[in-house]
A and B are shown apart, each in its own frame.
Chain A
Amino acid sequence: MIPIAIVLLVLLALMGAPLFAIILGAAALGFYTLGIEMSVLHIDIYQLSNSVVLMALPLFTFAGFLLSESKTADRMLRLSQAAFGWMPGGMAFVSLIACAFFTALTGGSGVTIVALGALLLPALVKGNYPEKFSLGLVTSSGSLGLLLVPSVPLLIYGIIAQQMSQQLDMPSVEIVDLYLAGLVPALLMVVLMYGYCVWATRGTEVPRQSFDFRELVDALWEARWELPLPLVVLGGIFSGFLVISEAAAVTALYVLVAEVFLYREISLRRLPGIMRDSMIMVGGILLILAVALAFTDYLVYAGVPEKLFTLIQTHVESKITFLILLNILLLLLGAVLDIFAALVIMVPLILPVALRYGIDPVHLGIIFVANMQIGYITPPVGMNLFIASYRFKKKVTELFAATLPFMMVLIIALLMITYIPQLSLWLVR
């Protein structure tokens, strides 16, 4: 009876049932087998109101929506071009930097390709970069900022880890630490990608832009209201002056004032609509997080993590072997699962096991998100492939072929991040 129900749930998930319903179904099934009253689902969902950092999610997302609804992308592109256009492979580097920052600022919600891609792709092609190369670059850069503050997936990992942290004998997982830990790996990815870009275009004649100080000053001036934003967020968080949720509130208010009153690119009349649209997406994520609380409650209550560990331990002895298996598993999951789904389903299962192999929870968070970042460009469920296909009117298969070399570069970065923990941890511990 129970195995049939599990198979049915998997089948329904593959048929396209909303993930929240699947997770709730699984939790309900689990509690039912233990004879627990179903009101437990309500109690667990209400636990959503018990997190001190969760408030950052709607606020950062709202700020990201505002940024993508105004001309921030144009300003960012102009600025990075003025600053880095003179370098060899300058336009490629500009793409990488602009995408990384925009993804970080908009919280990795996937809008980068929509907002920046349409500007970057023509600019790259005009700059004599091969079209296939350009498509691959833009599509794969669309998730480059996922390890940079204030990345939403990293925030969600932190929230889940904090919820679990008390039960486990582990160092605390501060969101600030996760953001600090993400800096070097994100930089590594940018550097490796840039290196590949220069190497891949070594034969082609790519004209270099000469450095123009006036243009840089003009671009800086144009971006004057948005430039202080990273300082506000980073300064506020890393100085400890603001806790994460407060930094998010300040960011939201700051962006609101900048785009509505200073740049005047969003009218007050459009504001409620933008607020509502951003909150629909947040609602979807929060609902998944809420039902994941119920599912996690079932797992812990039934002692599943302990059983899982015993099972894995009998087959896997060394930390290295475990990490290899972890990477393979996460890459496969990233290929079929949405990033939020992967986080809420897998972190509660993997975190306790990884801890026993002596993996730092902060490092695990970076490994997790770095894997998921690659998942954005792997079929069948590659968010960026879909969005790019919709945006550039190309077939998903064509886009995948174009992104493949970039994916290889990212996998090399991933391996380095996984097996050299210091890359993530030297700023933290």
Chain B
Amino acid sequence: MAALLHRLHRTLHQIEDGLIVAVLLFMVLLAVAQIVLRNFFGTSLVWIEPLLQNAVLWIGLLGAMIASRNDEHIRIDVASSLLPEKYHPFLTTVVDLFTAFICVLVAWYSVGFVIEEYEYAGTAFSKVPSWVLQSIIPVGFSVMAVRYVVLFVLGLLGKRPKMQEPVP
């Protein structure tokens, strides 16, 4: 059971990493292709622009999912620099629970809306159904919710990684 969970965990990481790298590469190549087409062939492809715009959404959520693995999100974080270290576990426990709750809230309503969008059968562009493009939102927030629940549990067990800002 533990081994299976571990494998699942690793596979998820690989999927996230692979997807985000692929989306970024496609973004660079498609955008350059569009420039070349426009300036040297005097034309452009209809589907590139909307695809690129949706790629931004996907990069955003995939990046946010990966950042949640070790809780590397932008924060204001005044208390942890003012309070002594021994209170930090209390801070992270409360904060993780809250963050998980917010992610669940968004994921829940997002799933509802995407299902409705599926039934509504709207297309975003060139026959691509819009629910497919939107589905990264519920998926992203669900994964983040799970990760913050895990962080919360780890915090209770005293094994949580330290709260940190993304170090550039």
Report A-B touching, CB under 8 Å: yes
Residues of A within 8 A of B (CB): 12-21, 24-25, 28, 37-39, 41-43, 45-46, 48-52, 54-55, 57-59, 62, 109-111, 114, 241-242, 245-246, 248-250, 252-253, 256, 272, 275-276, 279-290, 336-338, 340-341, 380-381, 387, 390
**A14 to B94 alpha-carbon distance, docked (Å):** 12
Partner of B76, one of A109, A111, A381: A381
**A20 to B103 alpha-carbon distance, docked (Å):** 10
Chain A residues with CB under 8 Å of B77's CB are 16, 381
Question: CB distance B71 to A42 under 8 Å?
Answer: no
Knowing A24-B102, A280-B166, A286-B56 are in contact, say whether A39-B109 is a contact too (CB < 8 A). yes
Closest Cβ of chain A: how far from B19's Cβ, in Å?
10
Tell me whether B156 is interfacial, beta carbon within 8 Å.
Answer: no
Q: List 24 A-B contacts (CB under 8 A).
A: A17-B98, A19-B75, A21-B98, A21-B103, A42-B138, A43-B113, A46-B134, A48-B57, A58-B24, A246-B34, A276-B21, A279-B24, A279-B63, A280-B66, A282-B59, A282-B63, A284-B166, A286-B57, A286-B60, A287-B60, A289-B60, A380-B81, A381-B78, A390-B167
Knowing A37-B109, A249-B28, A281-B63 are in contact, say whether A25-B102 is a contact too (CB < 8 A). yes
Chain A residues with CB under 8 Å of B95's CB are 12, 15-18
Partner of A249, one of B35, B67, B81, B99: B35
Question: CB distance A249 to B32 under 8 Å?
Answer: yes
Tell me whether B143 is interfacial, beta carbon within 8 Å.
Answer: no
Interface size on B, residues (CB 8 A): 65
Question: CB distance A285 to B76 under 8 Å?
Answer: no
**A134 to B164 alpha-carbon distance, docked (Å):** 28
Partner of B73, one of A14, A18, A241, A289: A18
Question: CB distance B61 to A287 under 8 Å?
Answer: yes
Closest Cβ of chain B: how far from A355's Cβ, in Å?
27
**A282 to B67 alpha-carbon distance, docked (Å):** 10
**A45 to B54 alpha-carbon distance, docked (Å):** 12
Question: CB distance B64 to A283 under 8 Å?
Answer: yes
User: Could you say which of B57, B108, B112, B163 has the most chain A C-beta atoms within 10 Å of its C-beta?
Assistant: B57
**A341 to B75 alpha-carbon distance, docked (Å):** 8
Closest Cβ of chain B: how far from A340's Cβ, in Å?
6
**A114 to B166 alpha-carbon distance, docked (Å):** 14
Question: CB distance B73 to A38 under 8 Å?
Answer: no
Chain A residues with CB under 8 Å of B168's CB are 109-111, 114, 281, 387
Partner of A284, one of B29, B54, B63, B99: B63
Residues of B within 8 A of A (CB): 17, 20-21, 24-25, 27-29, 31-32, 34-35, 39, 49, 52-57, 59-67, 71-81, 91-92, 94-95, 98-99, 102-103, 105-106, 108-110, 112-114, 133-134, 137-138, 163, 165-168
Question: CB distance B166 to A51 under 8 Å?
Answer: no
Given contacts A55-B53, A281-B67, A283-B59, 19 further A-B contacts (CB under 8 A): A12-B94, A13-B75, A16-B80, A17-B98, A18-B73, A21-B102, A24-B105, A110-B168, A241-B39, A250-B35, A253-B32, A279-B59, A279-B66, A281-B168, A282-B59, A286-B64, A288-B74, A338-B74, A338-B165
Partner of B31, one of A19, A55, A110, A336: A55
Knowing A41-B109, A246-B31 are in contact, say whether A12-B98 is a contact too (CB < 8 A). yes
Chain A residues with CB under 8 Å of B138's CB are 42
Partner of B56, one of A48, A249, A281: A48
Chain A residues with CB under 8 Å of B91's CB are 15-16
**A19 to B166 alpha-carbon distance, docked (Å):** 12
**A172 to B25 alpha-carbon distance, docked (Å):** 32
Chain B residues with CB under 8 Å of A380's CB are 78, 81
Chain B residues with CB under 8 Å of A336's CB are 76, 78
Look across to chain B and name the residue whose beta carbon is closest to the beta carbon of A23.
B102
User: Could you say which of A45, A242, A248, A289 has the most chain B C-beta atoms within 10 Å of its C-beta?
Assistant: A45
**A39 to B134 alpha-carbon distance, docked (Å):** 13
Look across to chain B and name the residue whose beta carbon is closest to the beta carbon of A109.
B168
Chain A residues with CB under 8 Å of B29's CB are 253
Look across to chain A and name the residue whose beta carbon is closest to the beta carbon of B91.
A15
User: Could you say which of B21, B28, B80, B99 has the most chain A C-beta atoms within 10 Å of its C-beta?
Assistant: B28
Look across to chain B and name the residue whose beta carbon is closest to the beta carbon of A38.
B109
User: Could you say which of A18, A52, A109, A337 has the most chain B C-beta atoms within 10 Å of its C-beta?
Assistant: A18
Question: CB distance A14 to B63 under 8 Å?
Answer: no
**A28 to B95 alpha-carbon distance, docked (Å):** 17
Question: CB distance A283 to B105 under 8 Å?
Answer: no
Chain B residues with CB under 8 Å of A37's CB are 109
**A258 to B78 alpha-carbon distance, docked (Å):** 41
Question: CB distance B32 to A250 under 8 Å?
Answer: yes
Chain B residues with CB under 8 Å of A39's CB are 109-110, 112-113
Question: CB distance A272 to B17 under 8 Å?
Answer: yes
Chain A residues with CB under 8 Å of B54's CB are 49
Question: CB distance B20 to A341 under 8 Å?
Answer: no
Chain A residues with CB under 8 Å of B71's CB are 18
Question: CB distance A55 to B55 under 8 Å?
Answer: yes
